[in-house]
């Protein structure tokens, strides 16, 4: 036999051999690192994907512009202030101001021009209305003026076409004198061409038959009237008439087909144009000049030179005496003359005067007022019964009707609740009146890197929409119940569902599972055949597909144990309704069965890891088996048991299939109870991802983040619990 030392490599050979072993070690380490890297990469890609959907730009179109609610409210306030005269007739406004020493108000610039001697013009932020300040927009109260007629009228009544052409040719001559600001010459020429194309070439004025009847805006009244007079002067032989009823009323009448030629101090809105179309009135819109609203006072009110928009807000919509604006002003009531409701002038005024006031700046009383003005009566009454709008009195309901409802067998929730607070009212306005609609959504990546393109696309496709950044995961999303409106949908009911289902699961499976594990580990004789069978069965159950547990749950909990799981046994089923076993309890118990084997196996593993010396120590002192198990073995095993349990719970939180079988509902709007129908987060996510509208994909992504956060919390609490228990021993 050789010298045994020679049987092992030496020197260089040894070095080589060691190097070889090190190399293979390095390769293995590389492989492990790679797999770790791949795993992390997959995780990151997954997370990025979710985050990409959960945040991003959206194009929001409101059914009602929130700012119009503010201006609408402010307009109401303005016209209903004390000592305030409101009229669509500017001559009347001018007269009121002339007659009151402390009077102040608005008239069209044309009206001011005619009464310049008796009125004092006040600058707005230092700017007087002039051709320049109106043209460059530095004077805020200026707007274009329009005349409208129906296409049919234009084509069938030569008088109208003739008048329009005459108007466009001559407005700039007379307009200046009347206090209007001149329209662009080329625009006027283009519009004359338009009339020619629509109604044929010009005809001699004296040959034009028919009459002319104008109505509408008071601001345009002086110019249109002058044009009518000049038109007759130039040879038109028919009857002429002109009325001032305000732009809004004018447009309304026009769209009904009641007005031949309409004066308007604002363009028709899209909605109004649609109404016209429905009535087969095809509006032809012609811009005839620019008008400015002048703010004027009685000549004796000489302390006011210039006012800011904010001061105007105070003068016209807040204070009642001049000295409240500035102590140096006289203690005299403010007498106001403002354009009447429904006039283009009032709209122009409020639009700029209150432009800095957002809906969120208003008071609760203002919100109640807005609700009164904008909410339908039926809906308003239903909401008022849910919870009152006002602490005292009613908006839609009446005291007697409300009292009656409260005395009935099923009183509405509003009877016992205090009135809605300001935030509640604001939310309500948003949901019931503004009703934001998402037109399109973009993922986060595009939102960041293609912002310009998105904004351009949105303004083309949805001119009225605002493009804003939206985090789909937001506080509202967490507290709102499920809804079919993506904008209003939230996961509160799903979170509650998940929490309650998982709580049931825990309460069922933890004691039963740990108990079974203790029996199997500490008491059962593992050499006995029946215990072996039980053990094998439990191990196999852990591998059974979850859908089978769903079927089991359906048969056992939903159907067989119906009286228990529906709450019928506890009197929890409302009379007249059929008891249903598709409840939180059934779901929790089903998931409990599903994770029971996992809990048992983990707990057994943990118990097995407790050294036997611990058991002997207890028994050696004369303790019973149970005392030893309870005081020493179980505490030592608890960290392991808890870890296993919480991992199992995590599985339960994410489970979908068995709950679908057990009968989870997809749309749950009210918080669940243990005996109510339910939904859980995974079901909610599943349902949202299967909807065609893209915004629900965003919601699903946000819900996934919530689900992941819940799982993370669960796992973190496992770590904390484990550390707590292993350090205390």
Partner 1 sequence: MSDSNDSTNIAVQAKDVSVYYGDFRAVKNINLDVARNKITAFIGPSGCGKSTLLRAFNRMNDLIPISRMDGEIVYRGKNLYDADVDPVEVRRRIGMVFQKPNPFPKSIYENIAWGARINGYKGNMDELVEESLRSAAIWDEVKDKLDQSGLSLSGGQQQRLCIARTVAVKPEIILMDEPCSALDPIATLKIEELMRQLQEQYTIIIVTHNMQQAARSSDYTAFLNMDTTDRSGYMVEFSETSAMFTNPQNQQTEEYITGRFG
Nearer to partner 1, 525 or 575 (CB): 525
What one-character DSSP code corresponds to residue 340? P
Dist. CA 506–CA 646, nearest whole Å: 9
The span from the CA of 510 to the CA of 517, in Å, is: 10
Residues composing the chain:
729
CA distance readout (Å), 288 to 114, 117, 312, 346, 397: 20, 27, 29, 20, 47
- The piece of 61-69, 177-185, 627-635, 701-709 that touches partner 1 (CB under 8 A) is 627-635
Using the minimum distance from each CB to partner 1, give the nearer residue, 99 or 627: 627
Stretch that binds partner 1, among 225-233, 560-568, 622-630, 642-650 (CB under 8 A): 622-630
Answer yes or no whether residue 413 interacts with partner 1 by CB under 8 A.
no
Q: Could you say which of 615, 641, 707, 710 contacts partner 1 (CB under 8 A)?
A: 615
Which is closer to partner 1, CB of 400 or CB of 729? 729
Output 329 or 725, the one with its CB closest to partner 1.
725
Q: Are 104 and 304 in contact (CB under 8 A)?
A: yes
Considering only residues 675-694, where is the footprint of partner 1 by CB under 8 A? none
**Residue 99 or 631: which CB sits closer to partner 1?**
631
CB of 719 to partner 1, least distance (A): 20
Taking the complex as a whole, the smallest distance from the CB of residue 528 to partner 1 amounts, in Å, to: 10
Answer yes or no whether residue 636 interacts with partner 1 by CB under 8 A: yes
- Residue 524 Cβ, how far from partner 1 at the closest point, in Å? 10
Report d(CA 240, CA 232) in Å as an integer: 8
Helix axes 377-386, 399-407, angle to 10 degrees: 50
- The answer to whether the beta carbons of residues 138 and 185 sit under 8 Å apart is no
Q: How far is residue 592's CA from residue 706's CA, in Å, rounded to a whole number?
A: 22
Q: By C-beta, is 26 or 624 nearer to partner 1? A: 624
Q: Does residue 672 contact residue 683 with C-beta atoms inside 8 Å?
A: no
Binding mask 569-608 for partner 1 (x = CB under 8 A): ----------------------------------------
Binding status of residue 621 toward partner 1 by CB under 8 A: yes
Instruction: Candidates 631, 670, 693, 717: give the one binding partner 1 (CB under 8 A).
Output: 631
The yes or no reply on residue 729 touching partner 1 (CB under 8 A) is yes
Measured from the CB of residue 519, what is the shortest distance to partner 1 in angstroms? 15
Q: How large is the C-alpha radius of gyration of the chain?
A: 40
| 283-291, 298-306, 577-585, 630-638 -> range binding partner 1 (CB under 8 A) | 630-638
- 48 or 617: CB nearest partner 1: 617
Q: Given the rule CB under 8 A, which of 95-103, 309-317, 338-346, 618-626 is the region that contacts partner 1?
A: 618-626
Assess 619 for contact with partner 1 (CB under 8 A).
Answer: yes
Spatial distance between the Cα atoms of 127 and 309, rounded to a whole number of angstroms: 12
Q: If phi over 0 gives left and psi between -120 and 50 gives alpha, with beta otherwise, what is residue 83?
A: left
Among residues 525, 571, 577, 578, which is the contact residue for partner 1, using CB under 8 A?
Answer: 525
- Listed in sequence order, the residues at least 6 apart from 103 whose beta carbon sits closer than 8 Å to its beta carbon are 96, 97, 297, 298, 301, 335, 336, 337
Query: Is residue 624 close enough to count as binding partner 1 by CB under 8 A?
Result: yes
By the rule CB under 8 A, 29 interacts with partner 1:
no
User: Considering only residues 32-61, where is the footprint of partner 1 by CB under 8 A?
Assistant: none
Residue span binding partner 1 (CB under 8 A) among the ranges 556-564, 598-606, 611-619, 691-699: 611-619
**43, 189, 617, 716: which one contacts partner 1 (CB under 8 A)?**
617
CB atoms within 10 A of CB 333: 15
Q: Which residue in the set 197, 413, 527, 577 belongs to the binding site for partner 1 (CB under 8 A)?
A: 527
Alpha-carbon distances, residue 512 vs 325, 482, 541 (angstroms): 76, 34, 15
- Of 308 and 624, the one with the shorter C-beta distance to partner 1 is 624
Q: How many residues bind partner 1 (CB under 8 A)?
A: 21
Tell whether residue 609 is a contact of partner 1 (CB under 8 A). no
Interface pick for partner 1 out of 135, 552, 564, 614 (rule CB under 8 A): 614
Can you tell me the distance from the alpha carbon of 122 to that of 296, in angstroms, rounded to the nearest whole number? 6
530 near partner 1 (CB under 8 A): no
Q: How far apart are CA 701 and CA 474, in angstroms?
A: 12
Q: Cβ–Cβ contacts within 10 Å for residue 701, how many?
A: 24
Stretch that binds partner 1, among 245-253, 429-437, 545-553, 621-629 (CB under 8 A): 621-629
Q: Which of 120, 114, 230 is closest to 178 using CA atoms?
A: 114
Q: Which two tokens stand for residue 343?
A: 């006039």
Question: Is 173 a residue that touches partner 1 (CB under 8 A)?
Answer: no
The H or E element spanning position 395 is: none
**Minimum CB distance to partner 1, residue 536 (Å):** 19
Phi and psi angles of residue 438, each rounded to the nearest 5 degrees, phi first: -85, 125
Beta bridge partners of 307: 124
Give the whole-angstrom CA distance, residue 189 versus residue 170.
11
* Residue nearer to partner 1 on the CB measure, 109 or 615: 615
3-state secondary structure of 471: strand
Smallest distance from partner 1 to CB 614, Å: 7
Q: Is 632 in the site for partner 1 (CB under 8 A)?
A: yes
For 453, residues 6+ apart whose C-beta sits below 8 A from its C-beta are none
CB of 612 to partner 1, least distance (A): 8
Residue 267 near residue 347 (C-beta atoms within 8 A): no
The interaxial angle of helices 185-199 and 158-178, nearest 10 deg, is: 170
CB of 621 to partner 1, least distance (A): 4
Among candidate residues 230, 236, 216, the one with its CA nearest the CA of residue 173: 230
Which of 273, 623, 647, 721 binds partner 1 (CB under 8 A)? It is 623
Shortest Å, Cβ 516 to partner 1: 20
Residue with Cβ nearer partner 1 (457 or 522): 522
Closest CA to 250 of 267, 266, 263: 263
Q: Which is closer to partner 1, CB of 579 or CB of 635? A: 635
Residues in touch with partner 1 (CB under 8 A): 525, 527, 611, 613-624, 627, 631-632, 635-636, 729
């Amino acid at each position: 036999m050789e010298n045994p030392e020679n049987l092992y490599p030496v020197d260089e050979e040894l070095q080589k051999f060691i190097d070889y072993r090190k190399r293979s070690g390095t390769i293995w380490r590389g492989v492990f690192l790679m797999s770790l890297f791949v795993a992390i990469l997959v995780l990151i890609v997954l997370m990025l994907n979710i985050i990409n959907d959960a945040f991003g730009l959206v194009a929001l179109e409101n059914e009602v512009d929130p700012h119009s609610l503010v201006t609408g409210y402010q307009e109401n306030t303005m016209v209903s202030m004390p000592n305030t005269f409101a009229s669509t007739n500017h001559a009347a406004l001018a007269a009121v101001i002339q007659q009151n020493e402390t009077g102040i108000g608005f008239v069209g610039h044309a009206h001011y021009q005619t009464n310049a001697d008796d009125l004092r013009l006040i600058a707005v932020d230092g700017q007087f209305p002039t051709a320049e300040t109106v043209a460059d927009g530095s004077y805020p109260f200026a707007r274009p003026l329009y005349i409208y007629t129906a296409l049919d009228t234009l084509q069938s009544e030569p008088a109208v076409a003739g008048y329009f052409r005459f108007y466009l040719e001559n407005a700039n001559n007379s307009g200046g004198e009347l206090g209007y600001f001149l329209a662009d010459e080329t625009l006027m020429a283009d519009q004359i061409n338009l009339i020619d194309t629509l109604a044929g070439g010009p005809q001699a004025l004296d040959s034009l038959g028919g009459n002319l009847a104008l109505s509408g805006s008071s601001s345009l009244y002086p110019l249109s009237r002058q044009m009518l007079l000049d038109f007759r002067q130039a040879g038109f032989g028919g009857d002429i008439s002109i009325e001032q009823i305000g732009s809004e009323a004018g447009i309304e009448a026009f769209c009904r087909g009641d007005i031949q030629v309409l004066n308007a101090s604002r363009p028709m809105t899209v909605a109004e144009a649609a109404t016209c179309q429905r009535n087969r009135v095809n509006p032809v819109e012609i811009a005839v000049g620019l008008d400015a609203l002048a703010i004027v006072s009685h000549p004796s009110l000489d302390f006011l030179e210039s006012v800011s928009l904010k001061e105007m807000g105070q003068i016209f919509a807040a204070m009642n005496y001049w000295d409240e604006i500035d102590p140096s002003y006289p203690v005299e009531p403010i007498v106001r003359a403002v354009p009447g409701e429904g006039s283009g002038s009032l709209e122009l005024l409020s639009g700029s005067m209150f432009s800095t006031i957002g809906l969120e700046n208003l008071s609760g009383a203002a919100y109640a007022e807005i609700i009164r003005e904008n909410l339908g009566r039926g809906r308003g009454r239903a909401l008022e019964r849910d919870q009152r709008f006002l602490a005292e009195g009613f908006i839609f309901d009446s005291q007697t009707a409300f009292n009656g409802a409260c005395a009935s067998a099923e009183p509405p929730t509003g009877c016992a609740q205090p009135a809605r607070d300001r935030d509640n009212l604001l939310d309500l306005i948003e949901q019931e009146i503004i009703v934001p609609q998402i037109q399109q959504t973009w993922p986060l990546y595009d939102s960041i890197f293609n912002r310009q393109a998105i904004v351009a696309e949105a303004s083309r496709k949805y001119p009225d929409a605002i493009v804003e950044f939206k985090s789909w995961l937001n506080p509202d999303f967490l507290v709102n119940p499920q809804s079919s409106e993506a904008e209003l949908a939230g996961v509160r009911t799903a979170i509650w569902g998940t929490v309650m289902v998982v709580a049931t699961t825990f309460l069922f499976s933890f004691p039963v599972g740990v108990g079974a594990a203790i029996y199997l580990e500490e008491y059962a004789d593992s050499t006995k055949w029946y215990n072996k069978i039980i053990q094998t069965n439990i191990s196999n159950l852990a591998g059974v597909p979850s859908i089978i547990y769903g079927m089991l749950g359906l048969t056992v909990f939903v159907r067989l144990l119906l009286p228990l799981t529906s709450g019928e046994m506890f009197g929890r089923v409302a009379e007249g309704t059929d008891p249903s076993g598709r409840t939180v309890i059934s779901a929790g118990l089903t998931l409990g069965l599903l994770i029971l084997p996992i809990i048992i196996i983990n707990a057994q593993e943990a118990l097995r890891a407790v050294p036997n010396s611990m058991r002997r120590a207890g028994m050696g002192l004369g303790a019973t088996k149970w005392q030893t198990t309870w005081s020493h073995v179980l505490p030592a095993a608890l960290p392991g048991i808890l870890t296993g349990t919480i991992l199992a719970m995590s599985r339960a939180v994410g489970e979908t299939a068995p709950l679908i079988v057990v009968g989870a509902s997809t749309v749950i709007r009210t918080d669940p109870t243990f005996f109510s129908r339910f939904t859980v987060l995974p079901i909610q996510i599943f349902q949202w991802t299967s909807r065609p509208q893209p915004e629900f994909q965003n919601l699903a992504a946000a819900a996934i983040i919530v689900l992941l956060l819940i799982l993370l919390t669960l796992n973190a609490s496992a770590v904390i619990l484990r550390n707590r228990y292993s350090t205390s021993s």
